[in-house]
Structure 1
Amino acid sequence: MKRVILIVLDSVGIGEMPDAHVYGDVGSNTLGNIAKVRGGLHLPHLQKLGLGNIELIQGVAPLACPDGSYGKMAERSPGKDTTTGHWEMAGVILAKAFPTFPQGFPDEFVQAFAKRIGREVIGNEVASGTEIIQRLGQEHVTTGKPIVYTSADSVFQIAAHEEIISLDELYRICEIAREMLDGDLRVGRVIARPFLGTAGSFYRTTHRHDYAIEPPHTMLLDGIKEKGLQVMAVGKIKDIYAGRGVTLHVPSISNKDGVDKTLDFMGEGKPGLIMTNLVDFDMLYGHRNDVEKYALAIEEFDARLPEILAGLGEKDILMITADHGCDPTTASTDHSREYVPLLVYGKQVNPGVNLGVRSSFADLGATIAEYLGTDQLRNGQSFLDDLFQV
């Protein structure tokens, strides 16, 4: 009954990578800078697992022998978006970054898209999702034209008021966009962004849905499912992998809800992989440069860690990491090219092992594959021997 619980703290990076200058991210350090601006972070449980041993974080001191093994991982794929990071964890390393559209999408495409869906669109710009619905929301309500926008990530986002365009219709529109966005326009994700409210107080609802492209070759989740084990996905994990390899899935509406549902899966005792994405760090605080609420969210997750640790079985392994950075202390509201933390704990796992700087997120996937006895991944170097060395 082997099981891995993998929790992705969305955007909780731990310092700029050597090529950060290429992405305009020099000086980014999501955890370190938040702690510095905040005057320290109170993370006693993450500290016990070894977080302070990875990098200097004010308020999180290194320990002589932490309970967990620790390190950090570099992203080998080009880019700094959600899909790229999660795919690499599963053993898919991209040779070319997903396309981005800092000037909006080509007019020719937008016109063809509007013709296909039978509606004119507004927007087609790089924007914050919360800001653009306040600015264009009333025009959308008046005209029925969906709001199209993008960001620094490889995304095509469509916002619509649920009382103007039904969820079913919005999802249909997104499916058309996903079909049309191919070739040089093949973005990582099309995202439905429904909202409600009235002028001046529009707000996004929890009915977001992501339409990702499928990973280009066999990856971790495929192998686990093929072995007859469970892949239990919490939050947007299923969307990120376009449903590939996922056997059980539950959505989440917040970090708290995501942890609750992770604990529910743990309580069921099914062997395989529980993979959770906690998105509030990124969506609510990183992209809005809200340092204090980001800090509080990290501390709130830390306070839930004892529940997760108490739910671990004898052969369970807990892994905590991130998919990129999103430093709220910088002028940018975009993701940042950063290393991500790596914390590993289990009742039979050696404590205090320094796993070093891993050359790829794929090392995590390779380790999980080896532990669960699935086929070896195309990429990644397992560190399983380090966790169980005598």
Structure 2
Amino acid sequence: MTRRVILIVLDSVGIGEMVDAGDYGDIGSDTLGNISKAVGGISLPNMEKIGLGHITGIKGVNKVDSPTGSFGKCAELSRGKDTVTGHWEIAGVVLKEPLNTYPNGFPKEIIQEFEEKIGRKIIGNKVASGTEIIKELGEEHVRTGFPIVYTSADSVFQIAAHEEVISLDELYKMCKIAREMFVGEKAVGRIIARPFVGKDGDFTRTANRRDFALDPFDKTMLDYIKEKGLDVMAVGKIEDIYNKRGITDAVHIKGNMDGVDKTIEYMKGTAKGIIFTNLVDFDMLYGHRNDFKGYAKALIDFDNRVPEIISSMREEDILILTADHGCDPTTESTDHSREYVPVLIYGMQVKSGANIGIRKSFSDIGKTVLDLLEIKNELYGESFAKEIIK
């Protein structure tokens, strides 16, 4: 019997365009494949051993004769390509309609209502890169005290503020006000606090980011696990993505490597259930900034930690590595991309070399997790547990 599942989402590590990528302007996107080509081949020997090279062609990553784990990829059934949509679907919630986006900025009446409720004017109100907009408007923000509001191709309302101008507590309060506003027909997936520090010309974002999400629209695998009396340990922004629902313990992180450290700390404990980790640096620091070299290094850095993760596993543990969407840094776009996501499964109970093929939905992952934990459920999806367990 599986006592614990360690589910790690490599945020934005997509593995090739989906058949409907054209509907999203993402023809040619292949986050992992294009990065590997751009750097002349990437070495990821530890994920290669599990079976990464068997999922798709990745320059520098080979098909091995005897993979140590099982492998495959998942299509996204939901409409959309953002973090909340991807994570919710992993946990069994499929969105028939995409969450709202605001490609031309937010309507005047929404901004006026927000300004009245926070007692300040705002600046910005457009689609922008988070790092670029603080370069552009950071000095004006410091001078005026007006928070910077912006969005992206994702379903987000983001508020950037200098920590010495607007305190973290006040910034988070502003986000909570926005969260109460953006519901119903106006709903966005996340309200995001984007604090920064420094002086003009040298502003840098801090690790005090907070995401304020909606409650998932249906019951998730996390709810099922918690109701069973098992532990749901969230690492990184997992707690925020699910608005704390179904979570029994959570820790926020300062970067990918800290996320791996915190995951391993949980693994060394005695809790049973799921350790659910999001490693956001791939997306936040490299994908959205079109930094394919930095992205490649981050992939190598994570791969170097895989043996440590595996050595921390118990005999009954199962490790699943996947992603939530793509964010190809080699394309002109700085936004997420509509891609398949990889699935790598490892553990003493897992078959070597089992190919689970192309799954119809990310939710097959959540359905499988519940089967592995022997939890009866009505979650959407089709479990691949029988295909991977010896």
The residue number in structure 2 matching 1:180 is: 181
Q: Residues of 1 paired with 2:219 and 2:25: CA distance? A: 32
TM-score (norm 1): 0.99
Q: Do the aligned residues in 1 keep the contact of 2:71 with 2:356 (CA within 8 Å)?
A: yes
Q: Residues of 2 paired with 1:53 and 1:88: CA distance? A: 24
Q: Do the aligned residues in 1 keep the contact of 2:51 with 2:70 (CA within 8 Å)?
A: yes
The residue number in structure 2 matching 1:237 is: 238
Gaps of 5+ in 2: none
Answer yes or no: is 1:208 the counterpart of 2:209.
Answer: yes
Q: Residues of 2 paired with 1:82 and 1:15: CA distance? A: 17
Letter in 2 for 1:294: Y
- Matching of residues 254-273 of structure 1 within 5 Å: 254-273=255-274
The residue number in structure 2 matching 1:51 is: 52
The residue number in structure 2 matching 1:111 is: 112
Q: Do the aligned residues in 2 keep the contact of 1:70 with 1:354 (CA within 8 Å)?
A: yes
Q: Residues of 2 paired with 1:89 and 1:286: CA distance? A: 21
The residue number in structure 1 matching 2:304 is: 303
User: How far off its partner does 1:218 sit?
Assistant: 1.0
Q: Residues of 1 paired with 2:43 and 2:198: CA distance? A: 36
User: How far off its partner does 1:65 sit?
Assistant: 2.2
Consecutive aligned runs of 4 or more in structure 1 exceeding 3 Å deviation: none
- Matching of residues 82-231 of structure 1 within 5 Å: 82-231=83-232
Q: Residues of 2 paired with 1:198 and 1:134: CA distance? A: 10
The residue number in structure 1 matching 2:31 is: 30
Letter in 1 for 2:356: L
Q: Residues of 1 paired with 2:108 and 2:24: CA distance? A: 26
Secondary structure of the 1:360 match is coil
Residues 238-282 of structure 1, C-alpha deviation per residue, up to 9 Å, x if partnerless?
A: 000000011110101100000000000000031100000000000
Q: Residues of 2 paired with 1:212 and 1:377: CA distance? A: 24
Secondary structure of the 2:211 match is strand
Q: Do the aligned residues in 1 keep the contact of 2:197 with 2:205 (CA within 8 Å)?
A: yes
TM-score (norm 2): 0.99
Gaps of 5+ in 1: none
Q: Residues of 1 paired with 2:83 and 2:66: CA distance? A: 32
Answer yes or no: is 1:346 the counterpart of 2:347.
Answer: yes
User: How far off its partner does 1:184 sit?
Assistant: 2.4
Q: Do the aligned residues in 2 keep the contact of 1:365 with 1:377 (CA within 8 Å)?
A: no
Residues 300-338 of structure 1, C-alpha deviation per residue, up to 9 Å, x if partnerless?
A: 100000000101111100000000000000000000000
Q: Do the aligned residues in 2 keep the contact of 1:220 with 1:377 (CA within 8 Å)?
A: no
Secondary structure of the 1:197 match is strand
Q: Residues of 2 paired with 1:330 and 1:15: CA distance? A: 13
Q: Residues of 1 paired with 2:377 and 2:328: CA distance? A: 34
User: How far off its partner does 1:73 sit?
Assistant: 0.3
Q: Do the aligned residues in 1 keep the contact of 2:156 with 2:189 (CA within 8 Å)?
A: yes
Q: Residues of 2 paired with 1:114 and 1:359: CA distance? A: 43
User: How far off its partner does 1:52 sit?
Assistant: 0.2
Q: Residues of 1 paired with 2:211 and 2:77: CA distance? A: 24
Secondary structure of the 1:274 match is strand
User: How far off its partner does 1:203 sit?
Assistant: 0.8
The residue number in structure 1 matching 2:368 is: 367
Identity of aligned residues (%): 61
Q: Residues of 2 paired with 1:269 and 1:377: CA distance? A: 28
The residue number in structure 2 matching 1:294 is: 295
User: How far off its partner does 1:348 sit?
Assistant: 1.4
The residue number in structure 1 matching 2:331 is: 330
Q: Do the aligned residues in 1 keep the contact of 2:10 with 2:279 (CA within 8 Å)?
A: yes
Task: Give the count of matched residue pairs.
Answer: 389
Residues 125-178 of structure 1, C-alpha deviation per residue, up to 9 Å, x if partnerless?
A: 000001101110111111111000000100000011111111111111110000
Secondary structure of the 2:104 match is coil
User: How far off its partner does 1:216 sit?
Assistant: 1.1
Root mean square deviation, CA, Å: 0.8
Q: Residues of 1 paired with 2:333 and 2:152: CA distance? A: 12
The residue number in structure 2 matching 1:19 is: 20
Q: Residues of 1 paired with 2:104 and 2:299: CA distance? A: 34
Residues 38-83 of structure 1, C-alpha deviation per residue, up to 9 Å, x if partnerless?
A: 1101100000000000000000011222001000000000100000
Q: Residues of 1 paired with 2:57 and 2:20: CA distance? A: 20
Q: Residues of 2 paired with 1:350 and 1:27: CA distance? A: 33
Letter in 1 for 2:201: G
Q: Residues of 2 paired with 1:373 and 1:289: CA distance? A: 42
User: How far off its partner does 1:388 sit?
Assistant: 1.9
Q: Residues of 2 paired with 1:292 and 1:140: CA distance? A: 32
Answer yes or no: is 1:76 the counterpart of 2:68.
Answer: no
Letter in 2 for 1:41: I
Q: Residues of 1 paired with 2:233 and 2:378: CA distance? A: 19
Q: Residues of 2 paired with 1:253 and 1:112: CA distance? A: 34
Q: Do the aligned residues in 2 keep the contact of 1:369 with 1:377 (CA within 8 Å)?
A: no
Q: Residues of 1 paired with 2:175 and 2:231: CA distance? A: 29
Q: Residues of 1 paired with 2:245 and 2:27: CA distance? A: 35
Q: Residues of 2 paired with 1:388 and 1:339: CA distance? A: 23
Letter in 2 for 1:21: G
Answer yes or no: is 1:248 the counterpart of 2:249.
Answer: yes
The residue number in structure 2 matching 1:380 is: 381
Q: Do the aligned residues in 1 keep the contact of 2:221 with 2:379 (CA within 8 Å)?
A: no
Secondary structure of the 1:178 match is helix
Letter in 1 for 2:345: V
Secondary structure of the 2:58 match is coil
